Structure 1
């Protein structure tokens, strides 16, 4: 079934808003999110594999990211350098990466090279450079990066907070893995990961640019045919810990790094998410206008910046934030965070704060959809979360119509954010 939202002209060139179709391969209908844009002779393609990110690293931390790096080592026949040079000669970009829930293979090229780029992608997937030499190289680079991060105290504090919020789960471990876990990864681990996760039943294709949709279907069907059908598995959900614990890590540092977080009871497809978006903007996402910034920096001078945001996905829903402060101010800063959030839940927001937030979110909307990749990403996220394609537009209207009493009632219902855990790196 085809969903066509809008067709309009910009500078005489066709720009068609995203629509969803399908590519049928081996009896499986793979969703295709497509946007035609004739303004520049470029094509961007992503193959997204769901439930295939770091959340699947239940046996060896960092395996998903490690497997993506292995895929970036080119084809077995040409090797890393030969494959990279071949892509460069055609001005083609190709890379693999992972998020928490997804594994993504992306390629970009001029429209005249789209067919060739699909051919190279097929070559890569058919015979990736999974060799002991590549394994050793990726291990060395990954372990070097992990070692360097031991002195990145934002990284240390962030990981410590996740360990508190998601103790005993895969989310409590670093997505990049540890020195020990990465060292233990074998070639067989990588092969088994890609065999299980890079499959048709988990794939969603996202394409945008100066290309015909029938050409997209034809060329990408050739690529997808080499993948196994595989199995789609339900994504696990992890509840954030509400025990309000504090962990203090001692390091040689001149600043205290304070990371905090709490549960946030909201489903990924909750129709009230727009209220959470407005509320969190006022609390800690809105820069100098936010409550945390006002109290922590402007009034008390405890930190250069303070931030809080809500993460709502299929696998998690929680609030987290961070700030840096002087060693001698860390207790006061921690107490201030608790007080600000407590008053926020108790008293809600003001009419002026609501109006200012509406102006910013509605006024800055064009900046969030000005590029093709931004629009495609938004459409993908709406589809991935189970919303209709016009959901983002409807959400903006809901923000515009939001009344103060409704927002404050919503804020007061979420008392779970008072159950704050803290991870502090200090001297």
Structure 2
């Protein structure tokens, strides 16, 4: 399928370069809604299905159940065990991917037009009739536990876990979606069935299709694929008001290089100032070697190979965070430089040249995201999850271009909070110790 997918990418890239994206809104006879981009030139369909809620819907005491359940969806369904399901999928040259994040359980399908009905019938079987066989559960459970144990020795994973626990506490975001060795070991088949019912329901599904299918064909297909799902799932978790204080939390770990996560509360995706903040971050920490943080921390001082920042919008929390790694004897200096840059942009904004270069990069790179029907389907679902309208793809660059220097200065002063910038450092950092309010 590799050459075939490459051809698909070329067709869609060419289409994106010459025309706007035409997104159709489709409703099935059974009431399921989807977004569609038709492209009949290649006999190929990409389908993206997202269930909002994801691993944050784990029941109390069952952390890791939704992750384990998701991993088992393709390990046997209906009358097929794991091997039979895999053989059937491969014989159809279909591709199914099942992934879960904090907020979303996503199923991605790529199928040829010539056997679309057979391939999607197989996909439906995995969604509606997963077997959760005992041998498959034990095999996948062992893989998950192995990954959890590996993370306990990984400085990046340790830093992420410490940051999440500090920021989110007992909220589901405060622990890793994989669960712990103990929680995963205790999960039963009944727990997996309950996890599926909590997560995979019609009241939280978002769907997108791109490729060789019409709106009239898509509606009945959706009913056949998803119509037998339960109407409702588990309630969504509460929102989190992120609160941090300037300072450092050190997590001792025997490694020659310290890893740090830093940040504070962010800005909601639907905020009127979001685009100005997005452009501002491109200048501060999102633009590779041209970003302020890379220039000051790496280029001028050689303190790291890489440092970056980004706006992290979750369904129930908004953060502004970054990462850096540096030698134990240099991480203290790196954190100070980051804090200084953060403060300078907050107080003084950016230059017109920086703004112009950032907008050129952001607008020039956007069409390149639409390089295949699978990517397009993923983008369309992401837009739905974020509450965007279908015209967003055609107006997004204009919104970036509309950001002015005054906008960035105003938003930098609002969004960047040096008084709340906290660092979680994992390693043996010289000259750093746990402190708050410094």
Say yes or no: TM over 0.5.
yes
Partner of 2:111: 109
TM-score (ref. length: structure 1): 0.91
* Residue 351 (structure 1) shift: 0.8
Distance 1:392 1:46, change over 3 A: closer
Shift of 1:303: 0.5
Quote the offset at 1:234 in angstroms.
4.8
CA distance in 2, matches of 1:411, 1:77: 58
Given the superposition, is the C-alpha separation of residues 56 and 126 from structure 1 closer, same or farther in structure 2, using an over 3 Å criterion?
closer
Contact 1:242/1:420, CA 8 A, preserved across alignment: yes
Q: Distance in 1 between matches of 2:334 and 2:15?
A: 50
Cα distance in 2 between the residues matched to 1:248 and 1:126: 46
Distance 1:68 1:304 in 2: 35
CA 1:122–1:398: 2 relative to 1, 3 Å: closer
Q: Deviations over 1:129-153 (max 9, x none)?
A: 2122222111111001111222221
Deviation, structure 1 residue 126: 3.5
Q: Aligned residue for 1:5?
A: none
Q: 2:158 corresponds to which residue?
A: 156
* Alpha-carbon distance in structure 2 between the residues aligned to 1:213 and 1:392: 20
Q: Cα deviation per residue 1:232-262 (whole Å; 9 max; x = unaligned)?
A: 7456322222233532122221111111121
The reply to whether residue 19 of structure 1 matches residue 21 of structure 2 is: no
Number of equivalenced pairs: 415
Shift of 1:286: 0.5
Structure 1 pair 15/386, CA: closer, same or farther in 2 (3 Å)? Answer: closer
Q: Distance in 1 between matches of 2:279 and 2:228?
A: 45
- Aligned CA distance change for structure 1 residues 326 and 401 (closer, same or farther; 3 Å): same
Q: Which residue of 2 aligns with 1:4?
A: none
Partner of 1:258: 260
- Structure 1 residue aligned with 2:50: 48
Task: Give runs of aligned pairs for residues 264-303 of structure 1, distance below 5 A.
Answer: 264=266, 266-303=267-304
C-alpha separation in 1, matches of 2:198 and 2:177 = 19
Contact 1:263 1:417 in 2 (8 A): no
| 1:209-248 → structure 2 map (5 Å cutoff) | 209-231=211-233, 233-234=235-236, 236-248=238-250
Instruction: Trace 1:6-85 onto structure 2 (pairs within 5 A).
Output: 10=15, 17-25=22-30, 29-51=31-53, 53-59=54-60, 60-85=62-87
User: Which of 180, 183, 205 is matched with 1:203 structurally?
Assistant: 205
Structure 1 counterpart of 2:332? 331
Whole-angstrom CA distance in 2 between matches of 1:98 and 1:56: 11
CA root-mean-square deviation = 2.3
Deviation, structure 1 residue 417: 5.4
Offset, 1:174: 1.0
- Provide, for residues 271-309 of structure 1, a one-character-per-residue CA deviation record: whole Å limited to 9, x for no partner: 321111101111101010111101100111111111111
Residue in 2 aligned with 1:3?
none
In 2, Cα distance between the equivalents of 1:300 and 1:259?
A: 19
Distance 1:132 1:162 in 2: 33
Distance in 1 (alpha carbons) for counterparts of 2:182 and 2:108: 30
Contact 1:162 1:171 in 2 (8 A): yes
Query: Which residue of structure 2 lines up, in the alignment, with residue 385 of structure 1?
Result: 386
8 Å Cα contact 1:30/1:201 also seen in 2: no
Asked whether the 8 Å contact 1:48–1:102 carries over to 2, the reply is yes
User: 1:306 corresponds to which residue?
Assistant: 307
Alignment deviations for residues 101-160 of structure 1 (CA, whole Å, 9 cap, x no partner): 111222211111111112112222342121222221111110011112222211111221
Q: 1:340 to 1:10 in 2, by over 3 A?
A: closer
Superposition deviation, residue 190 in structure 1: 0.7
Equivalent position of 1:361 in the other structure: 362
Q: Which moved more, 1:230-239 or 1:214-223?
A: 230-239
Q: Is the 8 A contact 1:263 1:319 kept in 2?
A: yes
Mapped partners of 2:137, 2:260: distance in 1: 36
How many angstroms apart in 1 are the aligned matches of 2:279 and 2:125? 46
- Flag the 1:398–1:284 CA change in 2: closer, same or farther, 3 A: same
Do the aligned residues in 2 keep the contact of 1:35 with 1:209 (CA within 8 Å)? yes
For residue 48 of structure 1, report the CA deviation from its aligned partner.
1.5
Contact conserved, 2:48 with 2:381, CA < 8 A, in 1? no
Q: Quick one: higher RCO (CA 8 Å, sep 6+), 1 or 2?
A: 2
TM-score by length of 2: 0.89
Residue 211 of structure 1: how far off its partner (Å): 1.8
Cα distance, 1:47–1:364 mapped onto 2, change above 3 Å: closer
C-alpha contact 1:319 1:417 (8 A) present in aligned 2: no
SS of match in other structure, 2:110: strand
**Residue 408 (structure 1) aligned with residue 413 (structure 2):** no
Cα deviation per residue 1:206-250 (whole Å; 9 max; x = unaligned)?
Answer: 111112332222233122232122257456322222233532122
8 A Cα contact 1:118 1:220, kept in partner: no
State the 1:69 CA deviation: 0.6
